[in-house]
Amino acid sequence: MAEASDHRSFESHHARFQRYQGGDPLAPPVDLAEALDKIGEQVMAGYSAERAMREYLRRGGEGRRGLDDLGRRVSERRRDLLQRHQLDGTLQEIKKLLDRAVLEERKQLARDVDLDDLDRSFAETRLENLPASTSAAVNELQDYQWRSSQARADYEQIKNLLGRELLDQRFGGMKQALENVTDADREAVGEMLNDLNDLLEKHARGEDTPQDFEDFMAKHGAFFPEGPRNVDELIDTLAKRSAAAQRMLNSMTEEQRQELFELSAQAFGSPELAQQLARLDQSLQALRPGEDWSGSERFDGDQPLGLGEGAGVLQDLADLDELSEQLSQSYEGARMDDIDLDKLARQLGDEAAVDAHTLRELERALRRDGTLRRDSTGRLQLTPKAMRQLGTTLLKDIAKRMSARQGQRELRQAGAAGDLSGSTRAWQFGDTEPWDIPRTVLNGIRRRAAEPADAGGRLIGIDDIEVAETEARTQAAVALLADTSFSMEIDGRWVPMKRTALALHTLIRSRFRGDDLQLIGFGRHAEVMDIEELTALEASWAKGTNLHHALLLANRHFRKHPTAQPVLLIVTDGEPTSHLESDGEVRFSYPPHPVTIAYTVRELENSMRLGAQITFFRLGDDPSLARFVDSMAKRVEGRVVAPENEELGAAVVDSYLGSRAWSASGGYGAGGDWSGWGRGGLWGD
């Protein structure tokens, strides 16, 4: 044993290996696009960015289990352990050995014809009158002179089993390691326990040194396959197991506990082992009072557990409770890094650990890659970079919807006299646009590299040429008026409205940088918002749809850009029910007051006089709203679009692009097909 101990000590102090937790090491990095889309949608619905991220991690994504699913599986495993097992396995095994020993002894007494009748009668009487209690019967036979060698072996096995089980409770794996226990093994165990207790008591007094631990492990390291590196790690390991053993005893009935207490004196044939273990438990409880020493569980199954197995199951239950809390992420300062992937793999398997690891990497990537940041108050929010990424995703979705509705025709208004759009396309016969030299040369190099046989040919071929696109464009002043009244939230239009605003904002900032967009939200009153404010806006119960105030702000925006083409886009699901008085106070009335209507109409006519191209996006089927919007559009020579919620973004973008086409061509277009705007579509290359 000493030789094995020395070997183990060398291994534990010079090399420590752990299972790789990262799943497939060749797997691609986590894709943030889906996560960002889901998180962004939650933010637009009124969630904080922190909560939105937590919700995504809880629910998971495409083909990926979330924390809720992992937590459910943890709960199911915990319930299965309790419903499958019972804790009297050691008592049942001892009773079987005792019954077999007594039966074999009775057979031997009946076969032994040379035995004195008086001795036979005394022995049979003693066996017949054994106490009903297993522990009392075992103690009663302590000095019995066995005549059957098989019976004697079974009785001795009871003592060895008790010793192995008691040790297995505190040191996992000892039951199997000491299956063929010898006197030398018992002596080694006793010496280890005595030295261990001395070390722990010395540590409790603050008198131990690192050398004391080194000496102990050099001598007894074979008993500790976990390979603790210092006395605190040793205590942590032992305390968890010892606390689990105590919880197992707490979970037993009073009769079962009493039986084990009385039987423990017979472990390895003397009470010394039980005394050493009691001393160990006392030291560990004093050193680690934070462990759960008083808990208990209710087992309702029919599969018996031995003392060591039971302690292992109680430890599993404690691990599952820890995992359940970690996976809930409901405590202050919770992070995915808190999840113990080793425990998760042991309890649920490697796939569960890989799912949790992927979610952890996703959280890290969201924080690390500039997607989320904390503001001055410490709240988590989407960064401008994240908003751009989210807006790009929305534009792609809008482009698909427009292409499906209108076909795949690309419309380009390119000319040598126009502004460079930043996009390129393959040269076609008759093109007069300037060559894009870097792209053209790069195409030639790529072609020659891909076709070695043509390496000696021309550097530039006809198919390599790309020309720089230009756009005949004028500047536009765009005002998007978004209804933020509570009815938008009630009828499921809140998120589509925000997604539309973000898509339009992204399109203008990325493809039409010369245009000036102003976002105006209007409920009981109106206000100019930046895109971060609008997307994070929470719905509030405040009566009023103040289109008049919104139009005042829009017209002010148009007047600030006298040389730009005004474009007015109004998204609403209700008639105007409030207006702004001259003193700045808001007046509300439902049904709409004639004064509110008059004020609103006056500002719409002002927009028309400023040359604005006006489009109403009417949401819902309210007949009175339809009549009002239709009459207003007719009055100001505007248009009315009545899209479904999911089509709102495509309708607004289509209208904006159509207004720009009117500016470029001198007339008002219907929008046409704009899904291929530029070489890279709405979102560029």
Residue 183 to residue 333: CA distance in whole angstroms: 54
The answer to whether 493 touches 573, Cβ cutoff 8 Å, is yes
Burial 97-131 (b: 16+ CB within 10 A, else e): bbebbbebbbebbeeeeeeeeeeeeebeeebeebe
Q: Which tokens hold the place of 594?
A: 């004639």
User: Which of 101-105, 179-183, 402-406, 673-677 has maximum average pLDDT?
Assistant: 101-105
Residue 58 to residue 54: CA distance in whole angstroms: 6
Given its phi and psi angles, is residue 438 left (phi above 0), alpha (psi -120 to 50 degrees) or beta?
alpha
Residue with tokens 């530029």: 678
**Residue 195's closest CA among 162, 165, 218, 161?**
218
DSSP symbol at 427: -
pLDDT band at residue 467 using 50, 70 and 90 as cut-offs: confident
The answer to whether 228 touches 13, Cβ cutoff 8 Å, is no
Residues 6+ apart with CB under 8 A from 593: 587
Q: Count CB atoms within 10 A of the CB of residue 526.
A: 25
Residue 679 to residue 552: CA distance in whole angstroms: 38
Per-residue confidence (pLDDT) for residue 11, from 0 to 100: 40
pLDDT band at residue 16 using 50, 70 and 90 as cut-offs: very low
The answer to whether 190 touches 272, Cβ cutoff 8 Å, is yes
Residue 245 to residue 584: CA distance in whole angstroms: 74
**pLDDT tens digits along 581-595:** 888 888 888 888 999
Between residues 158 and 329, the one the model is more confident about: 158
For the chain, the farthest-separated pair of C-alpha atoms sits apart, in whole angstroms, at 131
Per-residue confidence (pLDDT) for residue 175, from 0 to 100: 85
CATH number of 476-683: 3.40.50.410
Segments making up each domain of the chain, as ranges: 41-85+299-372, 88-298, 476-683
Residue 660 to residue 569: CA distance in whole angstroms: 13
> CA angle, corner 141, sides to 138 and 144, nearest 5?
160
pLDDT band at residue 400 using 50, 70 and 90 as cut-offs: low
70 phi, psi to nearest 5 deg: -65, -40
Residues 6+ apart with CB under 8 A from 115: 109, 147
Average pLDDT, the chain: 81
Residue 481 to residue 529: CA distance in whole angstroms: 10
483 phi, psi to nearest 5 deg: -65, 120
Residue 190 to residue 206: CA distance in whole angstroms: 24
Per-residue confidence (pLDDT) for residue 540, from 0 to 100: 76
Does 383 score more than 60 pLDDT?
A: yes
Does 124 score more than 50 pLDDT?
A: yes
Does 75 score more than 60 pLDDT?
A: yes
**Distance from chain centroid for Cα 566:** 46
Strand 526-529 to 516-522 pairing: antiparallel
pLDDT band at residue 415 using 50, 70 and 90 as cut-offs: very low
The residues that bridge with 579 in the sheet, in sequence order, are: 587
Helix or strand or coil: residue 21?
coil
Residue 297 to residue 300: CA distance in whole angstroms: 10
**Residue 523's closest CA among 588, 460, 473, 470?**
588
Residues 6+ apart with CB under 8 A from 5: 217, 218, 219, 220, 221, 222, 223
Residue 278 to residue 270: CA distance in whole angstroms: 14
The answer to whether 391 touches 502, Cβ cutoff 8 Å, is yes
Q: Count CB atoms within 10 A of the CB of residue 623.
A: 7
Residue 539 to residue 494: CA distance in whole angstroms: 8
CA end-to-end distance (rounded Å), the chain: 70
83 phi, psi to nearest 5 deg: -85, -15
| Angle between the N-to-C axes of helices 32-44 and 49-59, in degrees from 0 to 180, rounded to the nearest 10 | 130
Residue with tokens 């809930």: 328
Q: Which tokens hold the place of 359?
A: 């979610």
**Residue 235's closest CA among 176, 317, 170, 185?**
170
**Residue 65's closest CA among 28, 23, 11?**
23
Per-residue confidence (pLDDT) for residue 36, from 0 to 100: 72
The answer to whether 319 touches 343, Cβ cutoff 8 Å, is yes
Choose the weakest-confidence range: 1-15, 344-358, 430-444. 1-15
The answer to whether 579 touches 587, Cβ cutoff 8 Å, is yes
Choose the weakest-confidence range: 128-132, 226-230, 355-359. 355-359
Residue 590 to residue 573: CA distance in whole angstroms: 15
Residue 366 to residue 374: CA distance in whole angstroms: 12
Does 649 score more than 70 pLDDT?
A: yes
pLDDT band at residue 481 using 50, 70 and 90 as cut-offs: very high
Does 559 score more than 90 pLDDT?
A: yes
HSE (CB half, 13 Å, CA atoms) of 576? 30
Q: Which tokens hold the place of 436?
A: 């894009």
Q: Which tokens hold the place of 610?
A: 């400023």
pTM of this prediction?
0.61
The answer to whether 571 touches 526, Cβ cutoff 8 Å, is no
pLDDT band at residue 417 using 50, 70 and 90 as cut-offs: very low
For CA atoms 311, 317, 322, 323, give the dihedral sign. positive
Per-residue confidence (pLDDT) for residue 181, from 0 to 100: 85
The answer to whether 580 touches 523, Cβ cutoff 8 Å, is no
DSSP symbol at 435: B
**Residue 633's closest CA among 607, 653, 651, 658?**
607
